[in-house]
Amino acid sequence: MGSLSHVISPKLILPHLNSRRSYGLSKSNSRTLISTRAAKKVRVFAEIKNQSSSSKKEINFSDPDWKTKFQKEFEERFNIPHITDIFEDDVSIPSTFCLKMRTPITEAFAAGYPSDEEWHGYINNNDRVLLKTIYYSSPRSAGAECIDPNCTWVEQWVHRAGPREKIYFKPEEVKAAIVTCGGLCPGLNDVIRHIVITLEIYGVKKIVGIPFGYRGFSDKELTEMPLSRKVVQNIHLSGGSLLGVSRGGPSISDIVDSLEERGINMLFVLGGNGTHAGANGIHNECRKRRLKVVVVGVPKTIDNDILLMDKTFGFDTAVEEAQRAINSAYIEAHSAYHGIGVVKLMGRSSGFIAMHASLASGQIDICLIPEVPFNLHGPHGVLTHLKYLIETKGSAVICVAEGAGQNFVQKTNATDASGNAVLGDIGVHIQQEIKKYFKGIDVHADVKYIDPTYMIRACRANASDGILCTVLGQNAVHGAFAGYSGITVGICNTHYVYLPIPEVISYPRLVDRNSRMWHRCLTSTGQPDFL
């Protein structure tokens, strides 16, 4: 992200679980016989754990107390930062958020804030949500995520999101700001809307939007946008972002300088991994300067590649909208003599959209994602299978994620303003290779290529994403008033949680090729192993 790049950890691309390679276990665990795939699974998970936090220690499984030590370390890693870590003498006040008290906060409440201790709508600070819910009895189980080679069950709890009975900001002293960074994603306006509405319910009067991402903190031509319920009332009815988006931006120090100048003490940041890395940098700089400022993230990635979360907003809408493109490709292919439809969907390093869209449509014959390597040519390649499909079905439809098969396209060595590598167009490459292949074997093929990326990104959130955005926006405000900072809000095992930012930006969340969901996709498409 331009000058923000120094605070953004490079994205880790996990090694593919290639069935033709094997990894050995240490001598201390040699008595445990597990399959090659299970061994690799344990190793990959260990690499993830070692890289997710610089303070993590290597686990000594020969220690009989390793499980207790692991749980203790997990609690330390997932302990979410609070303003009392810096301002130890800061005193809480009764929450101004109570759904039994609907009277707006006015000067009449100068003597005290309205609250109702009998209202059982608050979340206790000690409430936790279980991070993993499946007890895998063996590393050989599909999708198993094991800490040790024996797949020992270890409870891992994270903080539950929601309104607290005690808050650490007086609403009349709050100036809240919202910023949307990166690319467009369905649901941005929904989140903005509910952050504003919830802030007003708390009694906040000063709410502003920072235009065009982090750039808005430094560009003198861009002025902050006053926000209120009246302004945001109907913005969720259209796609895009009311505030605009951009990549890159000024340095962390300049952003915090701007926060000080503007008097902002609550910052809500909507964005992906890079944006969250910037938010974490802002949080750390505010702590360094001893500023009573809370920074709360809302993960925005249409690719659904944020760690530890069930899903991120915009993903369901993307999968639904992708059906239009897939159906068009199917009709074109099915209506043509030897028709082949190619659809390229989003997914730089994670193939969740392509996988779920293929499952949902039931019209895909081949699904290609970044996590699963494949060959185009050769007896087991994609093109050979396409020939088989044309001979047996008469038509075929391919769904490919944008980050798949990058080894086949020319590398540009260029990066965008966020520091992401500019990818080669795998969709166009596959289209051209299909034409060459069938021309070479003297078989007619009518190839149609569809790239609906920008149509999907710009559309309005569907009902499922609308609900997710609503709750994420509400919980972001609850977390800020509770005094938490350097956190992001997400959904984990159907419950809403607060997570420390460093734990969710260590590397992109990837499709596990041994997971049941990928197996379901393969069952649906009927495709072979293209290696």
Q: Which residues are annotated as a binding site for substrate?
A: 301-303, 346-348, 402, 454-457
> Which residues contribute to the annotated binding site for ATP?
183, 247-248, 272-275
> Which residues fall in the annotated binding site for Mg(2+)?
273
503: Cβ contacts below 8 Å, ≥ 6 apart: 52, 53, 77, 78, 307, 308
Amino acid identity for residue 147 in this structure: I
Tokens encoding 258: 């701007």
Question: Residue 512 is encoded by which pair of tokens?
Answer: 């596990």
Coil, strand or helix: which one is 86? coil
What gap in Å lies between CA 451 and CA 453, rounded to an integer?
Answer: 6
Bridge pairing between strands 175-180 and 206-210: parallel
303 is catalytic: yes
Q: Could you tell me which of 424, 447, 450, 463 has the C-alpha nearest to residue 361?
A: 450
Which amino acid, one-letter code, is at 189?
Answer: N
| DSSP letters for 465-514 | HHHHHHHHHHHHHHHHHTTB-SEEEEEETTEEEEEEHHHHSSS-----TT
Q: Which member of 303, 305, 465, 512 is catalytic?
A: 303
Give the C-alpha separation, 123 to 120, whole Å.
Answer: 8
Query: Is-contact 314 465, C-beta < 8 A?
Result: yes
Rounded to 5 degrees, what are φ and ψ at 492?
-135, 120
For residue 245, the one-letter residue type is V
In degrees and rounded to multiples of 5, residue 221 shows phi and psi of: -80, -10
Helix, strand or coil, per DSSP, at residue 176: strand
Residue type, 96: T
Q: Which residues are annotated as a binding site?
A: 183, 247-248, 272-275, 301-303, 346-348, 402, 454-457
CA–CA distance, 19 with 11 (Å, rounded to integer): 24
Q: Up-side HSE of residue 241: CA atoms within 13 Å toward CB?
A: 27
Residues 6+ away with beta carbon under 8 Å from 338 = 390, 394, 395, 438, 443, 444, 445, 446
Residue whose token pair is 């520091």: 419
Write the DSSP string, 321-371: HHHHHHHHHHHHHHHSTTEEEEEEE--SS--HHHHHHHHHHS--SEEE-TT
State the maximum Cα–Cα separation within the chain, in Å, rounded to a whole number. Answer: 86
Where in the sequence numbering do the catalytic residues fall?
303
